[in-house]
């Protein structure tokens, strides 16, 4: 399978997603370039989480295709025809994608260190020593060097989320998905997590797709902001443009509602 260096990292091509009769995404198309930091904003229920979950293969598409670096994620080619991806194909392509969840979802039966080393050893085949060295570096980056042997339940929400970020990065993903990663945190813990994300955005070339209500953060780190409504992109612009002079009324309404709430 050839990978063209000019391929976008993420390609949604006419992706449709339904839950029962409810069409959540209706032939949605967009691309994200390598290394780009793209923020998705939009009202509740507009389909932001669904987009990330489709990319993480936690949901299946009902129509259209999703590709990563020019390689189909949702589908695979068999006998010249495009068929839905089987588990083997999914597990190979999904390795390039990492996700951080709103509720952290750390494994409570493992220490912080094990949470981070589990997948690199079991999936990437790293030795225990290599995986631990990688974990130690990442814990240092997220400011939790002293918590390696702690258990997730002993950590604050903000600390748990920083471990979850380290856990995702330990797989060296090409794409990192962030779904409202600070929404479950007490306000005083938000800044610590956001500063870690800022550092990742500026020091790595990981392509990042982020759903957040932290507008100042989105403005600071995003290369591009996409405004969603009812499963469609209604505005797609650099942050300075989208936040200061949005073109659509829906964007204006949404931004003023969010900014007033904050």
Partner 1 sequence: MTWDWDYAREVLPKLLEGLLVTFEATVVGSLIAYVLGLVFAFIRRSRIPVLSQVVWLFVEFVRSTPLLVQVFFLYYVLQPELGLLWTSFLTGSIALGVHYACYTAEVYRAGIDAIPVGQWEAATALSLPRSRVWLGVILPQAVPRVLPALGNYTISMFKETPLLIAIGVVDLVGEARGVGAQSYRYVEPFTIAGLLFLLLSYPASILVRRLERRVNRQH
Ligand X SMILES: Nc1ncnc2c1ncn2[C@@H]1O[C@H](COP(=O)(O)OP(=O)(O)OP(=O)(O)O)[C@@H](O)[C@H]1O
66 contacts ligand X (rule: CB under 6 A): no
Kindly tell me the number of DSSP H helices and DSSP E strands found in the chain.
9, 12
Looking at residues 217 to 236 of the shown chain, list those that interact with ligand X (rule: CB under 6 A).
none
Contact 227, 250 (CB under 8 A): yes
Nearer to ligand X, 6 or 44 (CB): 44
49 contacts Mg ion (rule: CB under 5 A): yes
239 contacts partner 1 (rule: CB under 8 A): no
Binding mask 81-110 for partner 1 (x = CB under 8 A): ----------x--xx-xxx-x-x-xxxxxx
In DSSP terms, which residues pair with 17 in a beta bridge?
A: 25
- CB 174: neighbour CB atoms within 10 A? 18
What is the rounded CA–CA span in Å between residue 176 and residue 200? Answer: 10
46 contacts Mg ion (rule: CB under 5 A): no
Q: Which DSSP letter does residue 143 get?
A: T
248 contacts partner 1 (rule: CB under 8 A): no
What is the token pair recorded at 119? 């997948």
Q: Minimum Å distance from CB 49 to Mg ion?
A: 3
Q: Which of Mg ion, partner 1, ligand X, none lies near 117, with the C-beta cut-off 5 to 8 A by kind? A: none
Contact 223, 39 (CB under 8 A): no
Q: Which of Mg ion, ligand X, partner 1, none lies near 91, with the C-beta cut-off 5 to 8 A by kind? A: partner 1
Q: Binders of partner 1: how many residues, by CB under 8 A?
A: 25
Nearer to Mg ion, 88 or 261 (CB): 261
2-27 burial, b for 16+ CB within 10 Å, e for fewer?
A: eeeeebbbbbbbebebeeeeebbbbe
44 contacts ligand X (rule: CB under 6 A): yes
Nearer to partner 1, 9 or 115 (CB): 115
Torsion region of 57: left, alpha or beta (phi above 0 gives left; psi -120 to 50 gives alpha) = left
Q: Which of partner 1, Mg ion, ligand X, none lies near 19, with the C-beta cut-off 5 to 8 A by kind? A: ligand X
Nearer to partner 1, 97 or 209 (CB): 97
209 contacts ligand X (rule: CB under 6 A): no
What is the rounded CA–CA span in Å between residue 152 and residue 141? Answer: 18
Q: Which DSSP letter does residue 32 get?
A: E
Looking at residues 13 to 42 of the shown chain, list those that interact with ligand X (rule: CB under 6 A).
19, 24, 42
Q: Which residues bind Mg ion (CB under 5 A)?
A: 49
């Amino acid at each position: 399978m050839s990978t063209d260096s000019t391929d976008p990292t993420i390609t949604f091509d006419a992706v449709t997603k339904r839950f029962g009769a409810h069409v959540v995404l209706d032939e949605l198309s967009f691309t994200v370039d390598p290394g780009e930091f793209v923020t998705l904003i939009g009202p509740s229920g507009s389909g932001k989480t669904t987009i990330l979950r489709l990319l993480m293969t936690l949901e299946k598409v009902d129509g259209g295709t999703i590709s990563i670096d020019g390689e189909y994620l949702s589908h695979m080619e068999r006998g010249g025809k495009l068929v839905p991806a089987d588990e083997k194909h999914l597990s190979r392509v999904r390795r390039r994608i990492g996700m951080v969840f709103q509720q952290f979802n750390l494994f409570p039966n493992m220490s912080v260190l094990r949470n981070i080393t589990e997948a690199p050893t079991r999936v990437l085949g790293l030795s225990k020593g290599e995986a631990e060295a990688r974990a130690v570096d990442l814990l240092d980056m997220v400011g939790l060097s002293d918590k390696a042997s702690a258990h997730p339940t002993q950590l604050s929400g903000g600390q748990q989320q920083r471990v979850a970020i380290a856990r995702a990065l330990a797989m060296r993903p090409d794409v990192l998905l962030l779904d409202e990663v600070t929404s479950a945190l007490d306000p005083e813990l938000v800044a610590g997590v956001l500063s870690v994300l800022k550092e990742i955005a500026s020091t790595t070339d990981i392509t990042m797709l982020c759903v957040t209500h932290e507008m100042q953060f989105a403005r600071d780190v995003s290369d591009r902001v996409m405004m969603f409504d009812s499963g469609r992109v209604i505005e797609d612009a650099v942050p300075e443009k989208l936040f200061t002079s949005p073109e659509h009324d829906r964007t204006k309404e949404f931004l003023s509602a969010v900014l007033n709430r904050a």
